Amino acid sequence: MKNVNINANNIYPATFTADDVISEATVSLTPGKFVEIGRYTVLADEFVGIGKGGYDAQNTAIGRLYAAFKDGESTPGAITKGKFRIEIRSSQDQPVGSRPTYLDVDLAAISAGATTLTDRFVLPFNGELYGEDRVIKFSIMNTTASAITLTAANCTVLMDITRAIM
Q: Where are the domains of the chain?
A: 29-165
**Sign of the C-alpha dihedral computed for residues 140, 145, 147 and 153 taken in this order:** negative
What's the rounded Cα separation, in Å, for the pair 161 and 14?
5
**Sign of the C-alpha dihedral computed for residues 67, 64, 52 and 100 taken in this order:** negative
What's the rounded Cα separation, in Å, for the pair 85 and 82?
10
What pLDDT band is residue 54 in, cutting at 50, 70 and 90?
A: low
- pLDDT of 14-25, one tens digit each? 999 999 999 999
What pLDDT band is residue 3 in, cutting at 50, 70 and 90?
A: low
What's the rounded Cα separation, in Å, for the pair 142 and 147?
8
What CA–CA distances, in Å, run from 45 to 50, 51, 134?
17, 19, 12
- pLDDT of 111-146, one tens digit each? 999 999 889 999 888 888 899 999 999 999 999 999
Of the candidates 76, 63, 79, 72, the residue with the CA atom closest to the CA atom of residue 158 = 63
| CATH tag, 29-165 | 2.60.120.1180
Q: Tell me which of 74 and 65 has the higher pLDDT.
A: 65
**Do 18 and 158 meet the contact criterion of CB atoms below 8 Å apart?**
no
Give me the mean pLDDT over the 75-92 stretch: 95
Of the candidates 111, 117, 143, the residue with the CA atom closest to the CA atom of residue 34 = 143
pTM of the model: 0.91
